Amino acid sequence: MVTINELYDYVYEQVSQHARQMGGSMHPIQKGSVKGRIYLTQYETAAQKQAKPLHAQAQAFYQAGKLGEAYELWQRVIKLVPEHQAAKQGLADIENWREEERRQEDLERKQSILLALYHEGKLPSDEFELGMVLIEKRQHDLTAMESKIRKLLDDLADEKISVAIYLNSVRLLRKPAGTGKTTPVPKPEQKIETKEPIIPKTKLPKISKAKKTIPKPQPKVIHKAAPLIP
């Protein structure tokens, strides 16, 4: 991009040089004032012309999934034209893709480690489920406590700490914060069993059992009417 000031510098140098070669002297003068930059024309430098086909080939490689070839060509473009924005964006996209690929591989590695510890009985189910959730989260989505537990998970996966140290550290972090004093562990409530009052046994007077006489059933007397005598 050619500005008015750049054009004046070019004209001043070229006219002065040619005037000296002809045995004379001439110095062009710029009059007036300009605010900001006013562009008059645009041209391609030799480096830009050389970088144009390289950039086009890099784009074709990128769309075909050949990221290594595209990355190499865009690096060459940047060396020729440091301010080439499209090439910079292409390099950034490839770096982001590679970073995501590395993150996915690391995630699968940690998942397999936690799963193995769980199946071996070394990692309780609560800590296992918590770990599986936290290793999938992005770093900027973690709370302060989750970030500390995530660091412990990384150390556990890299064998920097043992399972016992990991479990003790996580349990300490998950305890509610106190006032600096050791919070006593509440004792289980004692159940008070209410017993019925014991009544002293007293000798009760014996009740004489009277023999009950059951009257025998009396035969029924049927009175027949006397026959009529004519």
Question: Could you give the domains of the chain?
Answer: 1-43 (no CATH), 46-102 (1.25.40), 121-174 (no CATH)
With bands split at pLDDT 50, 70 and 90, how would you rate the model's confidence at 5? confident
pLDDT, one tens digit per residue, over 137-196 is 988 999 999 999 999 999 999 999 999 999 999 999 887 655 444 344 344 344 444 444
With bands split at pLDDT 50, 70 and 90, how would you rate the model's confidence at 32? confident
Three-state SS annotation for the chain? CEEHHHHHHHHHHHHHHHHHHCCCCCCCCCCCCCCCCCEEECCCCHHHHHHHHHHHHHHHHHHCCCHHHHHHHHHHHHHHCCCCHHHHHHHHHHHHHHHHHHHHHHHHHHHHHHHHHHHCCCCCHHHHHHHHHHCCCCHHHCCHHHHHHHHHHHHHHCCCCCHHHHHHHHHHHHCCCCCCCCCCCCCCCCCCCCCCCCCCCCCCCCCCCCCCCCCCCCCCCCCCCCCCCC
pLDDT, one tens digit per residue, over 64-118 is 999 999 999 999 999 999 999 999 999 999 999 999 999 999 999 999 999 999 9
